[in-house]
Structure 1
């Protein structure tokens, strides 16, 4: 009787395993069947029906201008759909041919490379000559350059074009479908393009860069002082936002202000403040944190301007002086870089721009 029960149990277990095996492998077979059916459907008798290159405005807007600094970008859209064997317009959403979609030169069909750059990612700088507002938060990279809904027949993709050199370029698009190359530069019956004119970036005299305007002062005692200044660019009757900075002398820290100057221990009797430091803030964030002798101090900052902090103290610091001129590049709202020097003024425990 025991043997009979064991046999039944084994049979039941085998049956459960068999059912499980059939379900799993059956599901796999069904998925493979669907995959190959979809693949077959995509690859058979498709041709391009709609192939258009445009800006993100009206169709009449076919030409734009940008600064040739390698960072200012212009948004270019490509709209594409296919036709099946019966001539019906169908979507290419999910089709591997979309991986081959790219921008090309209208005249010779070469990809954008070298001085002209096509990217699928937007950057932080202005996309038109009117400029761009500064942001207190960094730009979040897009996961895909498709901006249309999957259900739409015409799929829309965005590209971001910049130039490192002065000149003009007429831009078309290219896509490979079923081994056939489609271009919108007058070949295959498709003729759609936009043109870009890259002009020399604007340069500003040193007087346009302002260092000053104490926005905040914190003093824990008569032997401790933290001052906040702003580095800004003013021209043509308005503030030109500064969106980034870089320097070989200071490692950029997104969370804390970086030290670029330390006076060493001074013996000149200025307000009992025998040492002072210079800090430069990261560009993003409503506030910035500075490390002082009295711990971390957090102060608000304004977007579009770069915060410079001067911390003076009566307490000596056990570290070597760092008094060389601070050289840095600041990037305006169009992406143009400007080289500046920040020099120290020991008597005032402060700095000035040259």
Structure 2
């Protein structure tokens, strides 16, 4: 089979690999679609970050570079290993792409397995990835999804789960006003979750395409261009002078962080979703004087089942966020290059590793 393998900064190659072995307790999946994530771009430009460097095996997967990339993916079950009796060949599935030690409680009541020591990610830390034609995944991390959900949409359930967990961390509820800084894929999908909960959403974004996408999909009530509008003043106007109840930092850009801090009401909640590759200049005086509650959020924890329910019920529509589809051979030139140098022209680009989806 073919797979996109990451060898190090700026070095991705399409390799021919043996198909994975479907061992006891695992599920063999024909990958249908895999999204390109911002984390993949960070690895390409600045890494290795999450990917294990040569000579430093990942503590749980035991693997080092090269690794197969891709952690936002959907597919169809082609085989089940011994002991797997609740998934059938032919079922549509998505993957919660964790690599977690066997002694960690990952049960339905856990709220912290995503923070466990030695954690890794399929598609970054080893054990295959969604940018390969096939993959074998432990049953715990495989989630069936209704055939009524197209497999291209299903590939967005992983990033949607990131937004869902961030909204959970914020404590936002119906009637609140949220300011989302950055309308890339995570900002838009976080907005989608907020709208599904009855929150009024204001998006701040430079890209006209992404602002339009936020409005035409209905995930934002207001989409502001910070070059043309004083975002803080507009949020205050929209809230009767009070300010936003919650804010989500989805850009890793300093002026966006500053704007969110200023636009929040006293005792408001700031949630940082973006992975910052550098230190931020944080206004501690404003944090103290407004009693801002600042929270980090990473990935998801037992988020996939409720997110799948939101998608299957039709409360969140994912098709509008897919702005490109490519084959594996176009991964760098058509996918990475677009998202790195012309990211204002795209939201989510999906890859068909086998090419059958094109």
Q: Give the structure-2-normalised TM-score.
A: 0.22
Larger Rg: 1
Could you say which structure has the higher helix fraction? 2
Could you say which structure has the higher strand fraction? 1
Give the number of the structure with larger relative contact order, counting CA–CA contacts within 8 Å between residues 6 or more apart.
Answer: 2
Q: Give the structure-1-normalised TM-score.
A: 0.22
